[in-house]
Structure 1
Amino acid sequence: PEFQEGTLVISAVTAPGTGLQASTGIAQEIEGRLLEHPAVEATSRRTGRAELSAHAQGANASEIDVQVDLSEREMSEVTADVRARLSSIPGTNITIGQPIGHRIDHMLSGTRTDIALKIFGPDLYELRDLAGQVQGAIEGTPGLVDLSVARQADVPQLRLYPKRQEMAKYGVTPGHLNHAVEALVGGEAVSQVREGQLAFGLTVRLDSARRAGATSIRNVLIDTPTGPTVPVSRLATVQHERGPNTISREDVQRKIVVSANTSGRDVGSVVADLQRRIAEQVDLPENYYYEVGGQYENARQASRRIGWLSLVALLVVFLLLYQEFGSARAATLVLVNLPLALTGGVAALFLFLGGTLDIAAMVGFVTLFGIAVRNGILLVSHYITLLQEDKSLREAVLQGSMERLNPILMTALTAGLALIPLALGGGEPGKEIQTPLAIVTIGGLLTSTFLNMVVVPVLFDRFGDQEALRSASENHSLRD
């Protein structure tokens, strides 16, 4: 479930190569529109990040933290209003999220959105074209917002094409040539200068006139391993060209990302619609494919893991019950409580959570099944105890049900009453995960407790083998 953090993080990315002054102007326009909203209390902004930062970004990108007041409005309402106010900012990809959610998304997929459609392939320009097709195909999908493609553009570059034969004459390797030109043009730190308590790097490089362009760099002299000093033009062809501003890779494959958030719908159903639209409208060439990352992929993995572990746990519970009662029939009758609990949990899921089965709700089902199995054990174990006292099957069922009514009701009431505050606090920060868990558990407890006192006694009376159960229990007691 989406967090309710009380703070928004707005990412605004303009075209690559946008200068700091222009980018600052756009960011200030965004801040001005935000501060006009009655729920916005304050904003703070970062434009660009240092190259050595863990999250380096160019001057064309800004991040704006927005402190909001949720005393009179829901976060979903504020987010929708903010998104509408910023939709008319030209030439800017705007993504709206929250601080913790942004970081989680970034760790999951490398993007700061709920959904990351990663398109892989060998050619960058083909990838850009495919990303545009995918964007057009999925645009307008219900529940999809903040749709954008990773900003890429061709920017001026200075390229060196090595002359291999000439380089071999002077013993120059491509690495040596690259390092020499990089040190002369970009500079190389050779020492430090100290002023009081401060230390500054001492960087040596060519003066600005000698590194101004391709012509100047062609005439720069560099030392060679064989001794002579030769100009760069002797060893490589230097020319101005245009090339991609960035190349993204994952698992060695080149990629481009189409990112989006969701609003008003669960991620799973939105992704299903996206995949259908892409299959119908986009023809991916050979060696090109896409994957869906972000919260969707993480939720799928977690769901599969919980599913398999639940099956293993169910098997272990059955074996433990068989070990306890010495009868597969008794163990099966205890596990009848699971579908009884599932009925109420599913009903609560559709009535109060819109039918969205998220990880929190799945954990609620696991919790519910534990309580339901315990109630079944209380009944069946007491039935078997009464059978050992030479009660008839019908007498054991009637007496055992009445004697275990209070313990089972107390167990259900204790758990249900404790979960009510969590179930009612769905809109409060910090309870986003607890609320689905509580609602599913309470709904399942209602049906499980009621049906447990009706269905299990009837099934035990109908299918319980009095002599077999008594004998299995007595043999088990003797082995112990």
Structure 2
Amino acid sequence: SGNFYKIYAGDYLRTSDDVENLVVAVNHGRPVYIRDVATVKHEVSERSQYLNYFTGPALAEGKASTYGAQAITVAISKKSGSNGVTVANDILAALEIQQGLVIPDNVHLEVTRNYGQSAQEKVNNLLFKLVVATLIVTVLVWFALGLRPAIVVTMVIPVVILMTVFAAYLMGFSIDRVSLFALIFSIGILVDDAIVVVENIYRRWLIKGEMDTDTAVDAVREVGNPTIIATFAVVAALMPMAFVSGLMGPYMAPIPALGSVAMMISLFAAFAFTSWLTMRLKPSMKTLVKIEEKEHKSNERIDAFFRKILPAMLDKKILGYAFLIGLIATFFAVCLMFYTTSVTVKMLPYDNKSEFTIVLDMPEGTSLTTTSNISWEMVDALQKIPEVTALQTYAGAAKPFDFNGMVRHYYLRSKPWQSEIHVMLLHKNDRERSSHLIAEEARALLLPISDSYKARMTVAEMPPGPPVMQSVVAEIYGPDAATRRQVANDFTKIFDSIDGLADVDNYMTEPYQAWSFKINNIKASLKGISTQTIITNLQMAMGGYVVSDIRVGSALEPTNIIIQAPLALRSQPLGLADLPIPSVMGKTVPLGELGQFIKIIEDQPIYHKDLRPVEYVVADAVGRLGAPIYPMFTVEDKLKEYKSPDGLSISGTFTGAPVDISKSSFEWGGEWTITYETFRDMGIAFAVALIVIYMLVVGMFSNFILPLVIMAPIPLTLLGIIPGHWVFNAQFTATSMIGFIALAGIIVRNSILLVDFAVQEMKEGVDVTEAMLLACKARTRPIMITAFALMGGASVILSDPIFQGMAISLMFGVFVSTLLTLLVIPLGCVSAKKSMEEVAAER
């Protein structure tokens, strides 16, 4: 006919009746249907996991309470580069539209995690703090210099911030928590250049008695070089921190990057924008005279103070040496606070989140139902905590994993004896206790339950920074598997005996039994039955074999057809001995004739790290000494009396794997590794910063001795930083270290301003002692203004648990070191009189 046709035969299986009516054999000329040899049911598959939802005592008013409702969790991740807040809001809006249409009215939706909302709250909060920091600096400058200078300085801030945000866009940084903290941190230091320029213009106008442009230009020139070098010194202190390796590098990168950009932009703004705006908003000479009269009284008091203190220390050497010895003794006494644990050290402090997770491991081989029942028992205990709003249990399945779960491989948890409980809390503004304190109470409530069932439990809090396997990790190496596992078991007992460790566990499995069918290959071959045929029929009998599928109605996914023996038969493997196995000869042979069921001990998992076999023992550091290093030292003390199975005394390595793994040894990992790498790299960054700052100051003064005097106050910042942490009962963290390093550049700025002014006076013929007294008189006020500006800007982040350490370092460090700088620098410069005279002669 000239046409092409496709011919279709048969149809999809669509119902259970279609399956029942399938012919599987012919017996004496009559067809044998599936319904004749099996029962066909269209029903829910046997449970392999349980997910239940519970409301807590802090359930919001108007919401219906529920206990153990069956649930399904849907996790949605945003694409890279998209706005998490917008994505989250769009998802919630789409769900609202579908409620009652696609989603039935009797199906309730609960949002158990919304990182878009939390990100929006953090950004809004930090933007508010950004405004507050700006207002604090504005008010401070207003009181110190007057309204018009305050307006000038304040107008610089948004200009610099906006240009820095544009630079962040060019560098690929998003506006997140850390980048906003970088901007807030920058506010306190980016106004320094503007304050110095405005203050010096006003000072020169008063000296001349005329507010002309030439004097303003010369005033900017006068402080130009020291301001440029001082700004470069701050940048030199910040930039090396951008090269910190490991996970903490990208996490903290916005602080040095955006801080440095802000400083460079503020330098340009101080010379170009601030000086021009000062001319446009200059006060009347009458107003300036009033300001000068007020400033004169202040300067006279400052001058009287320094003329009383400094000459006495210079003339009476015993006073000078007493001051020096007292300063050194105080420095070492303050540093001893680390040794006595008056101030503890930690990578990052505990955050205050609205969730945490209970990770439960029952003894291997525990049934799914038992695991679920124990999870419910734990839920009952957790509902005694008043801040809990809701809980979800995941038995035999992993909850949608977060960054912490990704690193700890929680997404692999699918065994019947594994469970997770997701605990949701009130918003941090609606509760008095931090999530860490609540998690500690949860641990105390649940520990008796887990111990009674010989289970292992971990309270997994959301980490404040890069996550780790657990805070304390011992990686056990040894000559063979038996030795490694014995050492790991011994370490587990040692960890259990230490008060500062909780949630102790190891990655080994407890011995548990499994059934194995041992095939007699000779008999199977004689009967014409392959090993694969036996395995396939066993899979079909036990329910793990998908034969085909059916298309039910308009369902998007097909429904699998599974063959399986009745549960009563499957629960007793020995009863499968009569299972007929077909042979190639057309006959069937009972399974029992082809082999036998035997009980075996399940194999242990085998772990490798860098191709080396290893065992892991893990725990979380708890209590006041929450950093891992403290319980690690306690473990090391206990190991002095320990002998490994191969007869060795072992001690852990802290900075890398043991060289010789043919004998028992171990390496400390976990949070300690990130702590060591971060503080090591920050220490290197600090050393590089000191070298660069030294080179800058040498280049400015063309002298090798004077820069050492100028940099002498840098370690004095610790006299404020360490006691400041003790006052606030705060831990010295990585952010504290960032504040300390940043202060190196900030303090050098003050020193440069003092020394440069003194050199200019010496150039006019003034002796070094008088020059330093005049420098203190003229520069103390702008130095103190900039110091208080930094303290005011940093004060707004004092309440943040993560960046509190940085705020303390900046506030206490700059305050104490500024006061000491005004004494140490004059004394040091007079002692280095020859160098000062050489520099003055070359100017």
Instruction: Tell me whether 1:153 sits opposite 2:513 in the alignment.
Output: no
Contact conserved, 1:192 with 1:199, CA < 8 A, in 2? no
Q: Give, as a single letter, the amino acid of the residue that structure 1 aligns with 2:839.
A: L
- Where 1:147 maps in the other structure, the secondary structure is strand
Pick one of 791, 800, 803 that aligns with 1:434.
803
Instruction: State the alpha-carbon separation in 2 of the partners of residues 33 and 51 from structure 1.
Output: 20
- Which segment drifts farther, 186-195 or 78-87? 186-195
Compute the displacement of 1:76 (Å).
4.3
From 360, 375, 386, the counterpart of 1:27: 375
AA in 1 matched with 2:793: A
Q: Displacement of 1:159 after TM fit?
A: 6.0
1:310 to 671, 683, 686: 686
Task: Give the conservation status (yes or no) of the 8 Å contact 2:472–2:621.
Answer: yes
Q: Which amino acid aligns with 2:384?
A: E
Alignment map for 1:462-477 (pairs within 5 Å): 462-464=831-833, 465-471=835-841, 473-474=842-843
Tell me whether 1:368 sits opposite 2:743 in the alignment: yes
1:283 to 624, 640, 644: 644
13-22 vs 339-348, greater mean Cα deviation: 339-348
| CA distance, structure 2, for counterparts of residue 50 and residue 217 of structure 1 | 38
Instruction: Report if aligned partners of 2:358, 2:457 keep a CA contact under 8 Å in 1.
Output: yes
Taking the aligned partners of 1:220 and 1:139, their CA distance within structure 2 comes to: 52
Report if the CA contact (8 A) 1:158-1:238 is conserved: no
Deviates more, 1:243-252 or 1:55-64: 243-252
Residues 328 and 303 of structure 1: is their aligned pair in 2 closer, same or farther, counting only changes over 3 Å?
A: same
1:331 paired to 2:707: yes
Out of 267, 272, 276, the position equivalent to 2:633 is: 272
Partner of 1:457: 826
Q: Give ranges in structure 2 of 5+ residues lacking alignment.
A: 1-348, 401-409, 523-529, 647-661
Distance 1:281 1:157, change over 3 A: same
Alignment of 1:117 onto 2:471? no
1:145-176 residue CA offsets vs partner (Å, 9 max, x unmatched): 222334612334466999999xxxxxxxxxx9
User: What is residue 350 of structure 1 aligned with on the other side?
Assistant: 726
CA RMSD of superposed structures (Å)? 4.1
Please point out which of 608, 614, 618 is paired with 1:258. 618
Q: Does 1:445 align with 2:828?
A: no
Number of positions where the alignment pairs a residue of Structure 1 with one of Structure 2: 450
Give the AA of the match of 2:391: T
Alpha-carbon offset, residue 45 of structure 1: 1.5
- Equivalent residues in 2 for 1:3-82 (5 A)? 3-49=351-397, 54-69=411-426, 71-82=431-442
Larger mean Cα displacement after TM superposition, 13-22 or 137-146: 137-146
Partners in 2 of 1:409 and 1:51 — Cα distance?
54
Q: What's the % identity of the aligned pairs?
A: 21
Of residues 399, 403, 415, the one that matches 2:774 is: 399
- Alignment correspondent of 1:173: none
CA distance in 2, matches of 1:278, 1:182: 52
Q: Deviations over 1:114-163 (max 9, x none)?
A: 21223234654444432332122233323222223346123344669999
C-alpha distance in structure 2 between counterparts of 1:380 and 1:38, whole Å: 60
* Distance change (3 Å), C-alpha of 1:50 and 1:80: closer
Kept after mapping to 2: 8 A contact 1:137/1:282: no
Structure 1 or 2: more strand by fraction: 1
8 Å Cα contact 1:148/1:260 also seen in 2: no
The alignment partner of 2:826 has SS state of: helix
For 1:93 and 1:461, the matched residues in 2 are separated by: 67
Query: Would you say the 8 A contact 2:508–2:615 is kept in 1?
Result: no
Shift of 1:237: 8.7
| Change in 2 beyond 3 A, CA 1:51/1:45 | closer
Deviations 1:238-291 (A, max 9, x none): 863523455141323142433334222132212211222234335263533222
> Could you state the TM-score of these two structures normalised by the residue count of structure 2?
0.47
Q: For the Cα contact (< 8 Å) 2:398–2:419, is it kept in 1?
A: no
Deviation at 1:368, TM superposition (A): 2.0
Deviations 1:29-66 (A, max 9, x none): 00001102223232122112279994333121211122
Query: In structure 2, how many angstroms separate the alpha carbons of the residues matched to 1:153 and 1:178?
Result: 31
The aligned residue for residue 443 of structure 2 is 83
Q: Secondary structure at the match of 1:63?
A: strand
Paired position in structure 1 for 2:127: none
8 A Cα contact 1:422 1:438, kept in partner: yes
The superposition leaves residues 325-348 of structure 1 with CA deviations (integer Å, 9 ceiling, x where unpaired) of: 211122111101202222211222
- CA 181–374 in structure 1, closer or farther in 2 if over 3 Å, else same: farther
- Between Structure 1 and Structure 2, whose CA radius of gyration is higher? 2
1:450 is displaced (CA, Å) by 0.5
Separation in 1, partners of 2:565, 2:681: 60
Per the TM alignment, residue 404 of structure 1 is displaced from its structure 2 partner at its CA by 1.0
Q: Distance in 2 between matches of 1:351 and 1:392?
A: 42
Residue of structure 2 aligned with 1:382, choices 742, 747, 757 = 757
How has the CA–CA distance of structure 1 residues 386 and 190 changed in structure 2, closer, same or farther, with 3 Å as cutoff? farther
Q: Deviations over 1:174-214 (max 9, x none)?
A: xx98899589848777987654452338689998999x969
**Which amino acid in 2 is paired with 1:322?**
V
In the other structure, the counterpart of 2:601 is 243
In the other structure, the counterpart of 1:136 is 493
Say which SS state the counterpart of residue 512 (structure 2) adopts. Answer: strand
Task: Summarize the Cα distance change of 1:337–1:220 in structure 2 as closer, same or farther, 3 Å threshold.
Answer: farther
For residues 296-334 of structure 1, give each alpha carbon's deviation from its aligned partner in whole angstroms, at most 9, with x where no partner exists.
221111111111121112111111111122111221111
* Aligned counterparts of 2:792 and 2:519: Cα–Cα separation in 1: 76
Q: Contact between 1:189 and 1:203, CA under 8 Å: does it hold in 2?
A: yes
Equivalents in 2 of 1:19, 1:163: separation in Å? 31
**Residues 408-427 of structure 1 aligned to structure 2 (within 5 Å):** 408-423=783-798, 425=799
How far has the Cα of 1:4 moved from its partner? 1.2
User: Which has the higher mean CA deviation after the structures are superposed, 27-36 or 37-46?
Assistant: 37-46
Q: Indicate the SS of the match to 2:386.
A: coil
Per-residue deviation, residues 203-246 of structure 1 (Å, max 9, x unmatched): 89998999x969979996899xxxxxxx9x9xx99863523455
Code of the residue aligned with 2:456 in structure 1: it is N
Deviates more, 1:178-187 or 1:431-440: 178-187
Q: Work out the CA distance in 2 between the residues paired with 1:182 and 1:277.
A: 53
Which region of structure 1 is more displaced relative to structure 2, 284-293 or 39-48? 284-293
SS at match of 2:421: strand
CA contact (8 A) 1:341 1:368 kept: yes
Partner Cα separation in structure 1 for residue 399 and residue 712 of structure 2: 61
Amino acid at match of 2:461: Q
TM-score by length of 1: 0.79
Q: CA 1:50–1:365 in structure 2 vs 1: closer, same or farther (change >3 Å)? A: closer
Q: 1:271 to 1:246 in 2, by over 3 A?
A: same
> Structure 1: 5+ residue runs without aligned partners?
166-175, 224-230, 426-430, 475-480
> Is residue 365–residue 513 contact of structure 2 (8 Å, CA) maintained in 1?
no
Deviates more, 1:129-138 or 1:15-24: 129-138
Structure 1 distance, partners of 2:579, 2:783, is 88
CA contact (8 A) 1:154 1:242 kept: no
Q: Which amino acid aligns with 1:94?
A: M
- Equivalent residue of 1:280, what SS? coil
Query: Would you say 1:359 and 2:734 are equivalent positions?
Result: yes
SS at match of 2:504: strand
Give the structure 2 partner of residue 226 of structure 1. none
Q: 1:301 aligns with which of 677, 680, 704?
A: 677
